[in-house]
Amino acid sequence: MWPSDVIRIKRDHGELAPEHIEAFVNAAARLEGSGWEKYHLAALLMAIYLNGLSPAETAHLTLAMANSGRRLDWSDLEGPKVDKHSSGGVGDKTSLILGPLAAACGVMVPMMSGRGLGHTGGTLDKLEAIPGFRVRLSAEEFRTALRRVGLALVGQTADLAPADRTLYALRDVTATVESIPLITASILSKKLAEGISGLVMDVKCGVGAFMKTLPQARALAESLVRIGIANGLRMRALITPMDVPLGYAVGHTVEVIEAIEVLKGRGPHDVRELSVLLAARMVELAGLAEAGAAEQKVRAALASGAGLDVFRRCIEQQGGDPGVIEDYHRLPTAPHTATVVAPRAGFLTRMNAEDVGLAAMLVGGGRQRLEDDIDHAVGILCRVKPGQAVRAGDAVYEVHYRDSARWPEARQRLEASFTIADVPPAETPLVIDEFL
Ligand code: URA
């Protein structure tokens, strides 16, 4: 069948057969000799974006994309392999906390993370703030890390789900990113290739997330659970709010410090509680405990310092300086600090996570394109969060920056990012909804 015939089926709201989907995915993984051109791929992406995919088509697309490259096999390592993935937010450092906590409870966590893009942060970038920490491990190093520590925090290798790399790049330039079936297949194909048996999805919802509304977030969470299960994964998806940054720190050094603080039994309440909850779901999916007992296990790992110990061993195993745990000065620091202050007294009622993320990007802590360099030392500390009282002149943000030329635009964005009123706002729940 010609590529144009496949495109026509979807254009006319038809159902793609498995062989149509496979031809499309094989071409995305290896265009040469496939009979497809990039414009065929892009046209089919747009037809899918406009007319959707059935659950059966989405499940098949996911599997075909997972099979487009190497699939990791951990069968020689005993124990359940479970990962967590977030759809992307601001100040979300939970992976640095829940990975060690879940591993301390007996879960094997082969966590493949991404880099930050736009206003959102990425786990790999945060880890690279730790001097020496290597997120690129050979297959053998990855296996050794998992065997010794129970946790490996690495970047995606080029041979995993290669069809997704081509399709994601095309979606980026053809306005076809925001499609539930395409996002589902993109995320889950990489997770299936990672060789896990269970996945906890944290679907972020709000102004600082890709899913801005609750119906969108619900549709994505439902789709991820359904398609994950159809492909043999044990799944949980939580919808969590992302209107306000998670915790107080947004950046790299500052987020690593906040994560370590949580592992030391301190740190912000929202970061700690969300990390505990997500780690408990991982323990449950791993079959190591039922719901209530799983949470107790995770809290015990936090209280005893077992989670912190796993993080220390993980840093050591991946070439990083474990001394950062005791001495935060070993992390990169920015030369300048400035504050953005409250213009009046009252209660903070709004703090726009997207604006804070963009301000962190503007001072050099984020990237517009994946190939951009970032500065790990810069970052933003929220000194207050919505619900807290301020006096006129109190600092709302403390900004760590290097390049003075970048500061004014970031300051403008931060000044517009919050609202102060006479009455406090309603409390935000930790979790909005959960799908299993
Ligand atoms: N993250 C992914 O990996 N893929 C998408 O399509 C969207 C977010």
Model pLDDT, residue 169: 86
Whether residue 45 has its Cβ less than 6 Å from ligand 1: no
**Ligand 1 site-directed mutation target among 168, 189, 220, 224, most atoms within 8 Å of CB:** 168
**Ligand 1 within 6 A of 186 CB?**
yes
d(CA 110, CA 154): 8
> Is the residue at 246 inside a domain?
yes
The residue whose C-alpha atom lies closest to atom 7 belonging to ligand 1 is 183
- Please report the atom of ligand 1 found closest to the CA of residue 190: 3
What type of residue sits at position 316? E
In a domain, 321, yes or no: yes
* pLDDT given for residue 119 in this prediction: 82
Domain span holding position 18: 3-52
Nearest-CA residue for atom 3 of ligand 1: 187
Q: What is the CATH number for 225?
A: 3.40.1030.10
How far, in Å, from the CA of 423 to the mean position of ligand 1? 38
Does some domain include residue 59?
no
Domain for residue 361, yes or no?
A: yes
Q: In this predicted model, what pLDDT tens digit does every residue of 51-85 receive, in sequence order? A: 999 999 999 999 999 999 999 999 999 999 999 99
Q: In terms of DSSP bridges, do strands 433-435 and 234-241 run parallel, antiparallel, or are they unpaired?
A: antiparallel
Does residue 432 sit within a domain? no
- Give the total number of structural domains in the chain: 3
Query: Is 418 a residue whose pLDDT tops 90?
Result: yes
Q: Are residues 34 and 174 in the same domain?
A: no
Which atom in ligand 1 lies closest to the alpha carbon of residue 114? 3
Name the residue at shortest CA distance from atom 6 of ligand 1: 183
Query: Does residue 358 share a domain with residue 301?
Result: no
Same domain for 122 and 11: no
Q: Look at residue 178 and tell me whether its pLDDT is greater than 90.
A: no
Alpha carbon distances (Å) from 11 to 8, 35, 50, 97, 417: 5, 20, 8, 45, 42
Residues 313 and 407 in one domain: no
pLDDT in tens, 40-55: 999 999 999 999 999 9
CA-angle at 241, arms to 187 and 194, nearest 5°: 20
Asked if 130 and 262 sit in the same domain, the reply is: yes
Report if pTM > 0.85. Answer: yes
Asked if residue 178 lies in contact with residue 134, where contact means CB atoms within 8 angstroms, the answer is no
From ligand 1's centre to the CA of 84, what distance in Å? 14
Instruction: Classify the C-alpha dihedral 186-187-193-194 as positive or negative.
Output: positive
> Atom 5 in ligand 1: which residue has the minimum CA distance?
183
Q: What is the pLDDT of residue 166?
A: 92
Same domain, 240 and 358: no
- Co-location of 314 and 340 in the same domain: no
- CA distance linking residue 311 with residue 321, whole number of Å: 11
Is residue 204 domain-resident?
Answer: yes
Of the candidate ranges 110-119, 178-187, 191-200, 267-276, the one whose mean pLDDT is the lowest: 110-119
DSSP assignment of 155-189, as one string? EPPTTSSHHHHHHHHHHHHTT----HHHHHHHHHH
Q: Are residues 118 and 92 in the same domain?
A: yes
Q: Is the CB of 187 under 6 A from ligand 1?
A: yes
Establish if 281 belongs to a structural domain: yes
Ligand 1 pocket check for 6: Cβ under 6 Å: no
Q: What is the amino acid identity at position 393?
A: G
Q: Which residues are catalytic?
A: 85, 164, 171, 186, 190
Both 321 and 346 in a single domain? no
Instruction: Quote the ligand 1 centre to 60 CA distance (angstroms).
Output: 17
Q: What whole-number percentage of the chain has pLDDT above 70?
A: 100
Task: Examine the domain organization and report whether 220 and 316 are in the same domain.
Answer: yes
Let me know whether 125 and 253 are in one domain.
yes
DSSP string, 386-420: TT-EE-TT-EEEEEEES-GGGHHHHHHHHHTSEEE
* Atom nearest to 186 CA in ligand 1: 4
Task: Specify the pLDDT at position 115.
Answer: 82
Mean pLDDT is lowest, of 142-146, 329-333, 364-368, for 364-368
The β-bridge relationship of strands 336-341 and 395-401 is: antiparallel
Between the CA of 183 and the centroid of ligand 1 the distance, in Å, is: 5
